[in-house]
Amino acid sequence: MTKFLDGKLALVTGASRGIGAATAEALAAAGAHVVLTARTAGDLEAVEERIHAAGGSATIAPLDLTERESIARLAQAIGERWQALDVLVLNAAMLGTLTPVAQIDGKEFNKVLTLNVLAQQALIAAFDPLLRRSVAGRLIALTSSVGSAARAYWGPYSASKAALEMLVSSYGQEVENISSVRVALVNPAATRTQMRALAYPGEDPASLKDPSVAADAIAGLLREDFATGHRLSLS
């Protein structure tokens, strides 16, 4: 892969494993310095080590995205060290329990919405100034087919992804005529991840594509001059 992101700064959430980790490695391979965020420092360090071993550059930033103050502190720290943020990948999310809508546990539903929606808005708010300072700021949010098509028992996760899509798309329209920031949605579809295993415990993992496939698609998207509203589905 050519270094088309050389000199660029990228932030990837949920970067400790799965699609997030693979995306961080792909962006680093393309030349970006990647800031890795997730709750587990040890897992982030493992991803960082792989990036460095491959000749890339990365910084880990362990934090809980459900704590809005932590997001604000991260944005401040990044703003003090770098002039702009070129790529923001909103990948972190939780599935929650697959259950009938009438039986949704309110406490767990709140957790799903807090991470999958409220934290994403906090990230956009905190990093909007840095994205606007980029020559070509790019925000990519990971979504799901259930965000646009209802599926029985997937109510909480489906609702959160539908909300995320509208939130991100609204932001994209708000900034497209007053900045160089462009926004896209990526649906990785069936991928060999921990979340997929939770949703489909009887599924053969070998039948699913590796997270690197989604990561390469995201990196490839960043090579293009896509317009806000662009949607990429790997189904």
In the predicted model, is pLDDT for residue 235 greater than 90? no
How does pLDDT run across 205-217, given as a tens digit for each residue? 999 999 999 999 9
Biggest alpha carbon–alpha carbon distance for the chain: 51
In the predicted model, is pLDDT for residue 17 greater than 90? yes
In a domain, 2, yes or no: no
Distance CA 158, CA 29 (A): 33
Mean per-residue pLDDT for 194-198?
96
Domain count across the chain: 1
In a domain, 3, yes or no: no
What dihedral angle (degrees, nearest 10) is formed by the CA atoms of 195, 168, 41, 33? 120
- CATH number of the domain residue 58 falls in: 3.40.50.720
Range of the domain at 184: 9-233
How does pLDDT run across 144-154, given as a tens digit for each residue? 999 999 999 99
In the predicted model, is pLDDT for residue 1 greater than 80? no
In a domain, 213, yes or no: yes
157 is catalytic: yes
Mean per-residue pLDDT for 89-99?
98
* 107 phi/psi in degrees, rounded to 5: -65, -45
**What's the gap between Cα 126 and its chain centre?**
15
- Cβ–Cβ under 8 Å, residues 222 and 9: no
In the predicted model, is pLDDT for residue 4 greater than 60? yes
Average pLDDT, the chain: 97
In a domain, 1, yes or no: no
Mean per-residue pLDDT for 52-64?
97
In the predicted model, is pLDDT for residue 143 greater than 70? yes
The fraction of the chain above a pLDDT of 70, given in percent, is 100
Q: Kindly name the residue from 153, 157, 171, 200 that is annotated as catalytic.
A: 157
In the predicted model, is pLDDT for residue 2 greater than 90? no
pTM more than 0.95: yes
The pLDDT of residue 115: 98
For 35, residues 6+ apart whose C-beta sits below 8 A from its C-beta are: 9, 10, 11, 12, 58, 59, 60, 61, 78
